[in-house]
Amino acid sequence: MKKTALAISMALASTSVLAAMSAEEIAQYDIPFYDHTLDIEDRLNDISQRLTDEEKGHMITLWNKGVPRYGLKSFPPGEALHGLVTPREIPHTVFPQSIGLAATWDPAAMKRMGDAVSDEARAQYHNGPLDNRGQKGPLTFWSPVINIARDPRWGRTQEAYGEDPLVNGTFATAYVQGLQGDHPKYLKTAAGAKHFVANNEEHNRFNGNADISEKQLREYYFPAYKQVVQEGDAKIIMTAYNRLNGEPAVTNKWLVKDVLRGEWGFDGFVLGDYGSILMTTKGWGERGFQGHEIYENYVEATAAVLNAETLDFDNTRVFRREALTAIEQGKTTSAQLDRAFRNTMRVGLQLGMFDPEELSPWKDLPFETLTTFKDLALELAEKSMVLLQNEPVNGTPLLPLDKSALKTVAVIGPNADVLNYGTYSGTATDPVTPLQGIRDYLGDDVEVLYVPWATDEDELTHIAMDNISTLDNQGLGVWRAVYHDDQMARGKPAGRENVAHIDFSWTDDKPHEALTKDRYSVTYTTTVVPPQSGLYTLGLEHQGGDVVINVNGGPLIRDHGDANKLLRSTQEIELDASQAYEITVVSMRKGNAKDHVLRFGWQLPQEESQFEGGELEVAKQADAVIAVMGLSVDYERESIDRAFEGLPQAQTDMLRSVVNANPNTVVVMQSGSSIESPWLKDNVPAILQSWYPGEQGGNAIANTLFGDNNPGGKLPQTWVRSWDDLPPFNDYDMTKGRSYWYFDKEPLFAFGHGLSYTDFTMDKLKLKSNKVKQDGTIDLSVRVKNTGKVDGDEVVQVYVHDKFDRSDKPQQRLKAFERVSLKKGERKTVDLSIDVADLAYWDEQTKDWALGDRYEIRVGNASDNIKLTDTVRVK
């Protein structure tokens, strides 16, 4: 879960560390812990026996003060999903969103991105400014997200690497390897994979239950985590909010202790998602929050996670408060707290953060390293472009557009002059929108006709907890409510409490049991840090009283309201993502009002609106139309699942008119998930999926549209024709038609699909042997030739089909892939290898892995475009 910039700056967070002391400063603490020549376990033994339980608890929670008597200071955690996020006010390189990175099918490039991000992190840590608490930038990151994108309705699909376990695990592993580096002694940074496991719904993420068989966990949901632990050596794992088969992930001993640590050998530290321990306790529903409502209080919940050995680090405060009480009451032990402390501190030692800074291999990376990876951002954005469709217009494929044949180009659509980064994004320097990229590419040679997409009123949404930095005593974002038995909020308050959000309707009951009069007032106050800079809309739906909204003490909205009518009051305000804002909402109930309704929300900066007709006029004038459509974080993000399939209706309405007026229309889509629109496929000749392409997105789009970049990206997810083709959102049974493994209907666009401006052939599939041993490998080669007229990239995809009976048998599974670049006329032989053990399935009878005797090897360039096959026998 994302922490706001203010909350992070307030927080003395993550593991305890020595904050970049010099050798001379360290010398004053003449204890073995600071002797970098000693074995890590010896250093842990030393510091462990010196600290009290209370001090250890401070070291493994957020908002800790460190241990001054030993010079131990804390450092903040960070986010680095597709570039550094923290601190937000410092610019960093912003790369394409995760789903777009997966569409590159190029894990080597992903590893280079991880290396670039960790370069920026180390440059910031060693040579950047301190925050207002004297802390350096983060070296531990709650990234990447490797929850498998099993359903396009999930609001965080954009943060994942698609629906396939191999693609998911391979990209997460490559990124982790880049982030953590390959130094023989020190971690460059520490990467944290999340959310373990089956965190795939936003609307009920705090209290949902994922009911999944062990077979499907082993075969589908676990492999990416196992790969990132065993191949990537990730040092941090974050558990999910949800339950797994009835047990919250945060207390699930089988999941964490038995599988993650016991079977897979994970040796880093485990933390829960923000506040997840608290959400296992009772009473959350009464305060407007979701929760699991299991344990009576925080002490019991803290004892549960310590005794189950599921968590080592808590990002609230229970390990420094309730853990001590639990030990005193005999509900857990000091040894369990020490275990968690050592697991967390071990990673800090591996980062070298308790050693003299002059020993760091990255100490000389200048602060100016930040924002210097624009070329890599452009490369990744270009590689992520997926050409979904390119039908002929007047006998010739519409793309690439021929600049020399154009006099005018119309650029339209809600995403034309905005650059959607997606969630967990940092701040870029000189980002390039699609409109700017197209204008820069065409220069003065071609006239660009642009029609802005007019803004329209939209739904107000609750401010997500992760954007609220007013914290309760456990560190959760809340609104502080104060109740007065006086309409003008005068005198001594009748009551106080914390609430999750402002969404109330009172008829016979009053907002608080202490209120006794009909004319009363309620004042809600919180502090927020916006997720992005821009023009926000703040507003209320209200009935029964006067309302006031103040921002930083100044009035934004005042409305006398109506006793009997529901009203809506909104006001736009410019908010800066690097600033914190105090918001106060006051509702003063009228004495004659029967109903008292109060709902507060905001609308994020956006360009979305209704189609107003100007686009049609420029479409008629232009030689070609580039319509930049799609979604944004208004429709899909953390806390918000998608509410509708396909494009917003206003966009489709506009496209119907434009395509009829000018058939030379290209649709460029930005989204973090699939766009389920058969109409689009049937009526628009050329469709380019650009995802959320990062700071160089506009240049990448222009280069692709006009042919300087030949698109070679492939879909990392199946695009269904309709959500009606999917099982219920909360059904985690993959065999009911999820992913290309089990989807049995015609897709809109298949997993692995992606076209090119050139043509490729595949032939000469050769297996080293058609008989392999159970502990052997399947070695194969295939020849790929570029038979077209331009250079381009193709992705060789190798699928396996089980040619024997077994339960829950998939149609096929991706087991190897490679992106290959070929000049026109060039041919290459691509060699690939598959471990036979990776073909195994989980036998529910023996509770172990088993192999069949025959497998079909399928080679193609998409899951629905298999070109070559052969069969192997396992002896």
Q: Which sequence positions are flagged as catalytic?
A: 273
Cis upstream peptide for 727 (omega within 30°): no
Q: Left (φ > 0), alpha (ψ -120 to 50) or beta: where does 308 sit?
A: alpha
CA atoms within 13 A on the CB side of 497: 16
Mention every residue, 6+ apart, whose C-beta is less than 8 A from residue 115.
Answer: 178, 179, 181
Strand partners, 625: 410, 665
- What is the C-alpha separation between 314 and 297, in angstroms, rounded? 16
Residue-by-residue DSSP string for 808-846 = T--S-EEEEEEEEEE-TT-EEEEEEEEEGGGG-EEETTT
Are the CB atoms for 176 and 161 separated by under 8 Å?
A: no
- What is the C-alpha separation between 126 and 727, in angstroms, rounded? 50
Kind plus residue range of the DSSP H or E element containing 50: helix 40-50
Which tokens go with 97?
A: 């969103």
Which tokens go with 725?
A: 């083709």
Q: Which residue has the tokens 């009473």?
A: 283
Burial (CB < 10 A; 0-12, 13-18, 19+), residue 46, is middle
Which tokens go with 705?
A: 């549209």
3-state secondary structure of 632: coil
Largest CA distance in the chain: 87
Kind plus residue range of the DSSP H or E element containing 121: helix 107-127
Q: How far is CA 233 from CA 149, 156, 728, in A?
A: 23, 25, 35
Kind plus residue range of the DSSP H or E element containing 688: strand 686-689
Strand partners, 489: none
Which tokens go with 79?
A: 């986010």
- In the chain, the amino acid numbered 511 is P
3-state secondary structure of 148: coil
State the CB neighbour count (10 A cutoff) for residue 139: 28
- What is the C-alpha separation between 124 and 613, in angstroms, rounded? 48
3-state secondary structure of 537: strand
Are the CB atoms for 643 and 635 separated by under 8 Å?
A: yes
Which tokens go with 72?
A: 């131990």
Write down how long the chain is. Answer: 875
- What is the C-alpha separation between 712 and 743, in angstroms, rounded? 24
Are the CB atoms for 447 and 408 separated by under 8 Å?
A: yes
- What is the C-alpha separation between 837 and 831, in angstroms, rounded? 19
- What is the C-alpha separation between 419 and 415, in angstroms, rounded? 7
Which tokens go with 457?
A: 């009123």
Kind plus residue range of the DSSP H or E element containing 800: strand 792-802
Are the CB atoms for 408 and 697 separated by under 8 Å?
A: no
Provide the H-helix boundaries in 401-522.
434-442
Which tokens go with 521?
A: 């007032």
Kind plus residue range of the DSSP H or E element containing 410: strand 408-412
Beta pairing, strands 771-772 & 866-874: parallel
Are the CB atoms for 187 and 351 separated by under 8 Å?
A: yes
